[in-house]
Structure 1
Amino acid sequence: MCGRTACTLAPENVQKALSYKPKKSSKYVKPEWREASNGGRNYKPSHNVCPTDITPVLISGAHFSCESERIIQPMMWGMIPPWHQGDYKSHKLSTNNCRIENLDSSKLYKKPFLQGQRCVVVCDGFYEWQTTKGKDKQPYFIYMPQVNDIKIEDEKTWSTDFNENEGWKGPNLLKMAALFDRWVSPEGEEIYSYSIITLESNETLSWLHHRMPAILDSDELVSSWLDFGHINGSNALELLKGVKLLTWHKVSTLVNNSRNKDVTCNKPLTEKYSSPMNHQFQ
């Protein structure tokens, strides 16, 4: 599952990190950043992102009839049920994750799934807790392999350079498949929200948890997942597999408290670990 992430890039660097080559183009472009009202709340970079926080989400520009193929729109983590009345935080359902097995039958997720409301949630990485002796749980930070001596937890090792010929030079961010929806309050307040799709863990992470987020580890997968106009829901689900190339390390239990946003939240306690095929990236 996925109940906590880190997303520390400023908006302009999120745009750079999500740069892509449009169809019939050899140059990289940055997605348009589209703000939404979202109850008057905006995206704030954080080392400890929790459900109900606002985070950057990549969607097809076709949802808003935009010229840009892709746009970034901040949304709230945790889909608000369309039938909910009252304060948007008071629906009492756990919607930060949605199981891939139930998308086409769930009362909440079936409609956005069939309508192609697919999106990509971007972050530095996500946290997961492993049960140890007694009731104690050890938190881990899981993220994509990095190159050029970049350490995802150390911004001093990052480059924020971007150019249209080579694209983004910074950290390789984690991209997770998700569904989004638009909720309007009785007073007319508009909020966009999302749920991250999870599937059964593969051998890479099954030691840590029996569920894992559906991670898109190539731009081709991102493009296909977003392309609701040409790829229907059932075919899109075929794209979602358990990613094998991941990296992780233990972190402090400071991250257990959602109020702790300190930069030490995703710092490694000890050495880093990675899936066997991944050592070439270390």
Structure 2
Amino acid sequence: MMDQLIVQSLILGLLQGGLYALLAVGLSLVFGILRVVNFAHGEFAMLGSFAAVFAVTSFGMPAWAALIAAAAAGALVALITNVVVLRPIYLSRMRQKGEYTIIATFMLSQFLIAATTVLFGTTYRNLPGLWESNLNFFDYVYLSGNRLVAFSAAIVMIGTLFWIVYRTDTGRAWRALTQSPLGASVVGIDIHKYANYAFLVSGAFAGLAAGLLAPLMFVFPSSGVVALVKAFIVVIIGGMGSIGGALAAGLLLGVVEVMGTIFVASGYTDAYGFALMIAVLLLRPAGLFGKMGRAI
């Protein structure tokens, strides 16, 4: 029975970790390319989950179409954030741009939480899943169909992002920007355009991850805070700016949280992630896959 419980816990942790990774890769992508720490990333996810809920409840869309609405809403808000809030900062000549982007995105996140609360109230909402079944594998492992679908979608999307980064012109432009924005602009790369692409992908992934989590968790105005904390823990553990690190760290975080909840104490689920982050930083300050230079 103990072996079965360990296997069950490990698989549940990996399934949860895939969604953590999907939340974090967009944040890591933007940081790797522009060195922007985006504290509004959680609100991209929150607004995506609200878009998914209203797509189903108000427009009668099927659950799979609601995920498209979630990704579109996250991408749109991320694009507007880049154009209106962040671009004037990171393309300016002001000193300490990083500090200003942190302040600006933090204030934006508080505004979005307050605006969502005013518009939609504090009611907890939920989204129907894509596969409302409990699966039994050989009477040994029991899984939720929704979790399995969510994990599969997350892995496909992260794999697609890897393909974009390493096999397309957009990815080559992104990687050039990670090395030297000035050098990239000298050789003809449009910083504005590719920064917009990065934010579109970041917001879409955040919204999609939140839409996939919505059947498993409640949707409410401050739910983005939880998403942001998980995403930052994953990015710090994996290495700031590393997409591969975000994937590995997300899976690791999911396993640690589930194992700790089952075998240690269920009341300290969030603490296990912070403990893991502190341990990694003590051993590898740059993260598991972090580099001293700019990279994605």
Bigger radius of gyration among the two: 2
User: How high is the TM-score relative to the length of structure 2?
Assistant: 0.25
Structure whose residues are more often strand by fraction: 1
**Higher relative contact order structure (alpha carbons within 8 Å, sequence separation ≥ 6):** 2
TM-score by length of 1: 0.26
Higher helix share: 2
